[in-house]
Amino acid sequence: MESHPDHDLIKAQFQELEKLDSLEKLDSFIEENQLGGRIKAFYTKYPQVDFRLSVADIEKLKSMKIINEDHRLEMLNFPEDPLSKLLAAVLWKNGDIYKVQHLVDGITGREGDRTKYSLILKQYGASLATDEEPIVDQHVLRAYEIYNLAKVSFTTVHNIKRKSIYKSSDRPLLNAYKAWFKKVIDKVPKPEQSDFKEKLDKVLFLFGKNVKS
């Protein structure tokens, strides 16, 4: 089996993370790997979200006819307050109006993916509904896929590094990652798990981003 420097590095990093069983040890890992500044920079673009969205919240929006039975936003029924209109304007301008559908699917636990590109956004919806589900993005999955390779070659690692979109066909990989993530979190004392999860996610994000071609 071939080796690859990016695989060797990520495998070593994941193995170190698997040994951590406290927030203090994770903080030391972040300091030793000089990740603190980059994590701080991450939050300047993506401020931490500290709220939940439940099935009951979605049902309320349905009763107001803001979300329809297909989980799409009904723009003509949008609230008239300035904040709602401002957020709707951003969604519309970015072409993201109908992406909300996948987010709602994740919150409500709807089975199946509406498109092959809904995997990541649907998982984010699931993470908003419960602490049990992690946030997972393309960079995190890239890092985990390289770490989890059964057979390493320059070609396989190179192809993963160039991969920018994870699709429905990658759900087995997502499920394997979630099992790995839970195994790591379960070793941490309960009072520390929330902060540990948040920081671990950012560390894995940076690992995946580091190897992207």
pTM: 0.92
Q: Are 196 and 185 in contact (CB under 8 A)?
A: yes
Averaged confidence pLDDT in the chain: 94
| Measured distance CA(158)–CA(213) in Å, rounded | 8
3 pLDDT band (50/70/90 cuts)?
A: confident
* Model pLDDT for residues 172-194, shown as the tens digit of each residue: 999 999 999 999 999 999 999 99
Instruction: List the domain boundaries for the chain.
Output: 1-50+132-213, 53-129
pLDDT of residue 75: 87
Mean pLDDT lowest for which of 45-54, 110-119, 174-183?
45-54
Q: Can you read off the two tokens belonging to residue 23?
A: 């927030």
Query: C-alpha dihedral over 110, 51, 191, 182, to 10 degrees?
Result: 30
Q: Are 69 and 105 in contact (CB under 8 A)?
A: no
